Structure 1
Amino acid sequence: MNVRKIVTLVEEIRSEGGRPVSPPARVAVVAAVIENPWAGEGFVEDLGPGIEATASDVGALLAPEVLDALQAPAEAYGKAAIVGLDGEVEHGSALIHTLKFGDHFRKAANATTLLPAVEKRGPAGVVFDIPLKHITDATIRSHHQTTEVRIADAPHPNEIVIALAAAAQGRPQQRLAPLSTEQ
């Protein structure tokens, strides 16, 4: 795995809807800008070798970093794969939609649910939203949220941005009734 750079973003919301948020709501994102393991190979029928060579390593790299950046236990989480213009969306999906990748984050966060994800192809500086859901119950509405990310110089055409996001809480000032009230 060739990593060009790691980007860490931390958002701390101190006020929402004109009211203080206490404690402040924290969301952290850590993204690795990596060389696309299938770059320059044309259409690759079997993505398995690239998955084996990359997915676990990038998951092991990012999981502890995003939790360190959050500086609190994670209650919500998500992931992203943004592929440069010379790659395929399937390249990003191949890396993040495998237990080899996601289990690093699930174990580090004491989570049990599948990680919500975004995958897309785009130029350097493309904006993408990472969806987040509760780490043990994806039906907990208060934790359905997104965080917006942009890395000015990534991905290059032959790169993939792989990112993990974590929130220390649900949405600030959330007021929706539990899903069970509608069933």
Structure 2
Amino acid sequence: MPDFPIRKTMILIEDIRHEGGPPAATPRRRGVILAVVANPFAGRHVPDLIGAMDDLKPLGLEMSDRLIEAMGGLDGIDAYGKGAIVGEGGELEHGALWHVPGGYAMRERLGESKAIVPSAKKVGGMGARLDVPLGHINAAYVRSHFDAIEIGLPDAPRAGEIVYALAMARGPRVHARVGGLTAAEVTGKDGLR
């Protein structure tokens, strides 16, 4: 059973009031939580990684709970995403381990959520940045919620580490006006519309 001890975590919350146009009646809140963990697979090829996803599930739940709390509670959170930056000695698959524990943890904690959790991952050194995509939690085709939040830490990932990230948002982009399916029109049956 692999172990992923945490070196550090970080939470970032931002409230976007405008994007050059008039201030929004309600600012858009975006948040992200990062966990820098040791990579138990660094420096070697392990053919079977599947079981490690179970080992990461408690981390996904803990991070989801902390981010929801930092966002001010569940009410209105309607977008999410996840990501990973794998440090030296690791491989992209070690970031892919986050798909189930990160994505399903947010879905469990946010309740009804049908849409796929958008994701990005890469291998990078200390200070690497990653744009974590955001999408509506119930309908992938809600254009007003297409967004990304940049993550990264100046001292991570070090060799033999992984940065796992979860991101959430409340509301559409501040000046969303490119049409398409609106959040009010979502049926939430198939994760697309």
TM-score after normalising by structure 2 = 0.86
SS of the counterpart of 2:88?
coil
1:141 corresponds in structure 2 to: 143
Alignment partners' CA distance in 2, 1:57 and 1:124: 25
Is 1:36 the equivalent of 2:39?
A: yes
SS of the counterpart of 2:154?
coil
1:131 corresponds in structure 2 to: 133
1:15-30 paired onto structure 2 within 5 Å:
15-30=18-33
Following TM superposition, by how much is the alpha carbon of 1:113 offset from its aligned partner in structure 2, in angstroms?
1.4
Moved more, 153-162 or 105-114: 105-114
Question: Conserved in 1, the CA contact under 8 Å of 2:32 and 2:67?
Answer: yes
Following TM superposition, by how much is the alpha carbon of 1:60 offset from its aligned partner in structure 2, in angstroms?
1.2
**Number of residue pairs matched?**
176
Alignment partners' CA distance in 2, 1:84 and 1:43: 15
Give the letter aligned to residue 77 of structure 1.
Y
TM-score after normalising by structure 1 = 0.90
SS of the counterpart of 1:66?
helix
Is 1:57 the equivalent of 2:70?
A: no
Give the letter aligned to residue 80 of structure 2.
Y
1:104 corresponds in structure 2 to: 105
* 4+ long deviations beyond 4 Å: none
Tell me the alpha carbon deviations over residues 59-97 of structure 1, each in whole angstroms, 9 at most, x when there is no partner.
Answer: 11211111112125311000001100210011110x212
Alignment partners' CA distance in 2, 1:177 and 1:51: 38
1:79-118 paired onto structure 2 within 5 Å:
79-93=82-96, 95-98=97-100, 100-110=101-111, 111-118=113-120
SS of the counterpart of 1:26?
strand
If each structure's strand is expressed as a fraction of its own residues, which one has the higher value? 1
Q: Which runs of 5+ in 2 are unaligned?
A: 183-193
2:14 corresponds in structure 1 to: 11
2:165 corresponds in structure 1 to: 163
Give the letter aligned to residue 179 of structure 2.
A
Give the letter aligned to residue 7 of structure 1.
M
Q: Which runs of 5+ in 1 are unaligned?
A: none
Question: Conserved in 2, the CA contact under 8 Å of 1:67 and 1:73?
Answer: no
Following TM superposition, by how much is the alpha carbon of 1:178 offset from its aligned partner in structure 2, in angstroms?
1.1
**Could you tell me the percent identity over the aligned residues?**
39
